[in-house]
Amino acid sequence: MSENKKKVHYGGQAVIEGVMMRGRDNFAVACRKKSDGEIVSSREAIMPTLKKLKWLRKPFLRGVLMLIDSMALGMRALMYSAEIAAEDEEPAATNADERVAPEPEAYAKDNRKKQVINGIAIGAAMVVALGLAVGIFWFVPTAVAWLLKPWAQTLPGISIDVSWLKIESFRTFVIAAPLERRVVLGLIEGAVKLSMLLGYVSAISLWSEIRRVFQYHGAEHKTINAYEAGEPLEVDNVRKYSTVHVRCGTSFLLVVIITSIIVYAFIPWHTILQRFLYRLLLLPLVAGIAYEVIQFAGRRKDSRLLRAFLAPGLLMQKITTKEPTDDQVEVAIKSLQLVLESESAPAEPTPSPSTP
């Protein structure tokens, strides 16, 4: 394998009854229809934002763009899988008199109309759900910490000499609240956020439909792990690999929370709104740091120190991934094979410690 190919980070996500896989220039979605067990798939070329804006391909800057690209691509994959699921659930005509073939033009027009309506409905639902999730997970932890602010103010602060700062406004920003109190409030904020995340993920994992999504998540990880180990992409080979992967978005979320506690410790607590705005402004920095940590860990998967740092995220994957069935592994393999074929990558890479 060429040096260029070794650097490609193949990954993906679980969707409704399927798996999306992404490579450097292409992505594919494979879904299994419940009605007849057929695997349907879609494959498209992509143009990452980093290729358009090469000047942003710098450490701690590229993370935000990669996150935006991944979210947008994930939404497209989810919408595609939702459309397949919706079509699969449409009641089929069982009476011979009902199975009258429509006119080709009328059928095509009606089908396009249904796809547009389904796409708008699914997209709107996802946007609303994402907005609610961001609002709840961002605002509630800050509100809880704010309510405990009177208690935190009783703690002794750490005296810091900032007379060397030439900019008066920045000097005021730094000494606006003792550092120790900020750290305590930041820890409370992070603990509430983490507790909410764990509670939410644990609760939805009890739902049978979500559990199937988590099984496909496990199938995705097994397939990537097998590919990176140089195994032929066959169900028997993939099945033996772990459902845990260091570059998983679950681990990324945990690293983001840990990083945010450190970065946000320096933000004053004047008002909730001001706190929220500061966090919004610093989000690119937090996401950028977390992205670099995850990417570095992906290249050093054998490092005990990094695995210890990522241990909370790896443990959380025990909730967000479940042991998949062979049928689900087959879908994940199909999705990755489509990407590999598009990018002319070998189906059986040479194992390398540096493979991400």
Given pLDDT bands bounded at 50, 70 and 90, which one contains residue 272?
A: confident
Give the strand pairing for 11-15 and 26-32: unpaired
The whole-number pLDDT of residue 52 equals 65
Residue-level pLDDT at 165: 46
- Note the pLDDT of residue 197: 85
Query: How many CB atoms are located within 10 Å of the residue 185 CB?
Result: 26
Which of 32, 15, 7, 20 shows the shortest CA–CA distance to 223?
20
Query: Model confidence over 307-318: pLDDT tens digits?
Result: 777 788 888 898
How far is Cα 236 from Cα 308, in angstroms, rounded to an integer?
30
Residue pLDDT, tens place only, 191-206: 888 888 888 888 888 8
Mean pLDDT confidence for 78-104: 63
Q: Is residue 115 predicted with pLDDT exceeding 80? A: no
The lowest-confidence range among 106-120, 182-196, 225-239, 294-308 is: 106-120
Q: With pLDDT > 90 as the criterion, what percentage of the chain qualifies?
A: 20
Confidence of residue 173 (pLDDT cuts 50, 70, 90): very low
Domain range list for the chain: 8-90+105-342
pLDDT value, residue 112: 53
pTM, full prediction: 0.76
Q: Are 155 and 180 in contact (CB under 8 A)?
A: yes
Angle CA 134–259–172, to nearest 5: 90
Supply the pLDDT for residue 110.
Answer: 55
State residue 271's pLDDT score: 80
Task: Report d(CA 329, CA 311) in Å as an integer.
Answer: 25
Per-residue model confidence (pLDDT) at position 175: 44
Average pLDDT over residues 54-72: 74
